[in-house]
């Protein structure tokens, strides 16, 4: 990860240092190349200096320009893409503010800061101060250049691994204990009872399948978590996504005696996302609707443009609905709604947790509206391109 910071620092200080030198330098052609300023009668007229914002837009590392009070003056495209609106939280973080308060001229200072929400991040921020008397490329205020580098991955991988081990060992213990119990029974008391053997083997197959599902889900979840701090940039089509969901759910719908209707928007909507992950999110939501909606449930999947930009996907069912006290806890890992004493055997308690992590990664929002007897509406909003 050091390389990224190095590139950032080298690129940042190189371009800015170069710009400063160019401005102060006596070589006319160098000055002209960068600023297209005119020199008339020995007097410099800054006709159209290359704006600092235009300059930092070109640098492919996240850069923020601040004034001396710490107000954002410019956030370049890379920074917007990587950090979204967390950029404010980065700048006001006490570690960053402490550096800003005592930053000497011409010195580069670096600090490491951590954010918890909306996704956990560890960011390395390097600061360099300039003054308007330096007359650097048209800045008319004293300020600070802040170059950011994301160090989240190294910091979270460790935690993800611990989480995985803890969850896997805890959640696999129950089905494993039941498997061991049945194996002992098959070896002893039921050794000569073919009818009981068939019955036990069927239960064992079910438990093994459950363990398999659990492991698959856990692996998927840790993969999602590992990518959580990287915001997807690729534009995808909402129409393609709903088509894929319709295809992939058709077997499930037939087996469960449920129906899925897709309401696609008139004009397709494009938004930055990881297509496979969004499909997974909608599959999980649809699966929940089938599992908890009861038989003959009618499900609608829609994609609509949002008033505040971006797209809203909604999965609506006319099933049994959810008691209000469960709703806030649904996205917790391994939280499952118990229906009159029985827990759905197929649920891993991870589906909505995965949904939440994917939505957080995209800077989106998950909303669940439900009431007993009135069905459930799960909607996910994804923001437009930065």
Partner 1 sequence: MAPEGVHTVKSYEQELSRLRAMMTRMGGIVESQVAQAIAAVTAQDEDAARAAPGQDPQVDALERDVEGLAIRLLALRSPMASDLREIVAALKITGDLERIGDYASSIARRSTRFDLADSRISLSGLTAMGRLVQENLRRAIDAISQQDPERALEVWQSDQGVDEYYTAMFRALVTYMMEDPRNIGPCTHLLFIAKNLERIGDHATNIAERVYYAVTGENLPAYRPRGGLASDAAETSVTR
Q: Report 123-142 residues binding partner 1 (CB under 8 A).
A: 140
Per DSSP (E only), the strands in 224-310 are 235-237, 259-263, 270-272, 298-305
Nearer to partner 1, 5 or 96 (CB): 96
Nearer to partner 1, 21 or 377 (CB): 377
With CB under 8 A as the contact rule, the residue among 153, 335, 384, 386 that binds partner 1 is 335
Q: Tell me: does residue 88 bind partner 1 (CB under 8 A).
A: yes
Q: Tell me: does residue 267 bind partner 1 (CB under 8 A).
A: no
CA nearest neighbour of 271 among 306, 320, 295: 306
Q: Tell me: does residue 329 bind partner 1 (CB under 8 A).
A: yes
| Interior angle at CA 327, CA 322 and CA 331, nearest 5 | 120
Q: Which two tokens stand for residue 334?
A: 């391994």
CA distance 131 to 24: 13
Q: DSSP assignment of 144-203, as one string?
A: EEEEEEE-HHHHHHHHHHHHHHHHHHHHHHHHHHHHHHHHHHHHTTTTT-HHHHHHHHHH
Q: Tell me: does residue 345 bind partner 1 (CB under 8 A).
A: no
- Length of the chain as a residue count: 386
Nearer to partner 1, 97 or 110 (CB): 97
CA nearest neighbour of 14 among 135, 147, 141, 111: 147
Identify which range of 39-47, 94-102, 186-194, 201-209 contacts partner 1 by CB under 8 A: 94-102
Q: Tell me: does residue 31 bind partner 1 (CB under 8 A).
A: no
With CB under 8 A as the contact rule, the residue among 60, 328, 345, 372 that binds partner 1 is 328
CA distance 223 to 263: 30
Q: Tell me: does residue 333 bind partner 1 (CB under 8 A).
A: yes
With CB under 8 A as the contact rule, the residue among 222, 242, 331, 348 that binds partner 1 is 331
At its nearest, how many Å lie between partner 1 and the CB of residue 116?
A: 5
At its nearest, how many Å lie between partner 1 and the CB of residue 72?
A: 8
Scan for tokens 């980065």, then name that residue: 90
Segment (H or E) for 385: none
Q: Tell me: does residue 102 bind partner 1 (CB under 8 A).
A: no
3-state secondary structure of 317: strand
With CB under 8 A as the contact rule, the residue among 6, 85, 193, 247 that binds partner 1 is 85
| Interior angle at CA 279, CA 275 and CA 283, nearest 5 | 170
With CB under 8 A as the contact rule, the residue among 15, 51, 81, 118 that binds partner 1 is 118
With CB under 8 A as the contact rule, the residue among 24, 27, 71, 374 that binds partner 1 is 71
At its nearest, how many Å lie between partner 1 and the CB of residue 219?
A: 20
Scan for tokens 């599902």, then name that residue: 213
Please say whether the beta carbons of 213 and 345 come within 8 A: no
Q: Tell me: does residue 117 bind partner 1 (CB under 8 A).
A: yes
List of residues 6+ apart from 25 with CB closer than 8 A:
31
- Judged by CB under 8 A, the number of residues near partner 1 is 28
Nearer to partner 1, 20 or 327 (CB): 327
Number of other CB atoms surrounding residue 83 within 10 Å: 24
Identify which range of 46-54, 92-100, 196-204, 212-220 contacts partner 1 by CB under 8 A: 92-100
Give helix 2-24 / helix 28-35 axis angle, nearest 10°: 120
Scan for tokens 């160019």, then name that residue: 22
Give helix 275-293 / helix 351-361 axis angle, nearest 10°: 150
Residues 208-247, one symbol each (x = binds partner 1 by CB under 8 A, - = not), give ----------------------------------------
Q: Report 296-315 residues binding partner 1 (CB under 8 A).
A: 308
CA distance 157 to 155: 6
Identify which range of 34-42, 81-89, 277-285, 339-347 contacts partner 1 by CB under 8 A: 81-89
With CB under 8 A as the contact rule, the residue among 1, 46, 89, 108 that binds partner 1 is 89
CA distance 131 to 144: 9
3-state secondary structure of 155: helix
With CB under 8 A as the contact rule, the residue among 21, 77, 80, 93 that binds partner 1 is 93
Binding site for partner 1 (CB under 8 A): 69-71, 85, 88-89, 92-94, 96-97, 114-118, 140, 308, 324-325, 327-329, 331-335
């Amino acid at each position: 990860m050091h390389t990224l910071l190095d590139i950032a620092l080298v690129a940042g200080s190189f371009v800015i240092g170069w710009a400063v030198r160019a401005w102060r330098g006596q070589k006319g052609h160098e000055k002209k190349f960068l600023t297209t300023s005119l020199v008339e009668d020995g007097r410099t007229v800054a006709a159209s200096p290359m704006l600092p914002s235009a300059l930092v837009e070109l640098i492919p590392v996240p850069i923020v320009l601040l004034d001396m009070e710490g107000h954002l003056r410019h956030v370049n495209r890379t920074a917007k893409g990587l950090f979204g609106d967390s950029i404010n939280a980065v700048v006001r973080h006490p570690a960053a503010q402490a550096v800003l308060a005592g930053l000497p001229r011409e010195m580069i200072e670096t600090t490491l800061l951590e954010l918890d929400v909306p996704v956990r991040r560890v960011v390395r921020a390097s600061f360099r101060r300039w003054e308007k008397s330096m007359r650097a490329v048209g800045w008319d205020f004293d300020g600070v250049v802040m170059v950011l580098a994301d160090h989240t991955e190294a910091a979270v991988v460790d935690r993800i691994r611990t989480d995985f081990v803890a969850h896997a060992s805890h959640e696999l213990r129950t089905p494993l204990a039941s498997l061991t119990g049945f194996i002992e029974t098959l070896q002893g008391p039921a050794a000569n009872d073919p009818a009981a053997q068939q019955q036990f083997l069927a239960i064992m197959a079910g438990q093994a399948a459950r363990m398999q599902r659990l492991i698959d889900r856990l692996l998927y979840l840790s993969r999602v978590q590992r990518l959580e701090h990287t915001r997807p940039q690729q534009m995808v089509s909402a129409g393609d996504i709903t088509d894929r969901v319709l295809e992939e759910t058709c077997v499930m719908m037939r087996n469960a005696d449920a129906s899925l209707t897709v309401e696609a928007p008139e004009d397709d909507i494009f938004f930055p996302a990881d297509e496979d992950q969004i499909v997974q999110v909608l599959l999980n939501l649809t699966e929940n609707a089938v599992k908890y909606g009861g038989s003959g449930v009618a499900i609608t999947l829609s994609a609509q443009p949002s008033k505040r930009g971006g797209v809203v996907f909604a999965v609506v069912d006319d099933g049994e609905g959810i008691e209000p006290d469960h709703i806030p806890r649904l996205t917790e890992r391994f939280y499952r709604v118990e229906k009159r004493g029985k827990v759905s055997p197929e649920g891993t308690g991870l589906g909505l947790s995965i949904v939440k992590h994917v939505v957080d990664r995209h800077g989106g929002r998950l909303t669940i509206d439900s009431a007993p007897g009135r069905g459930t509406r799960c909607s996910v909003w994804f923001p437009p391109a930065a």
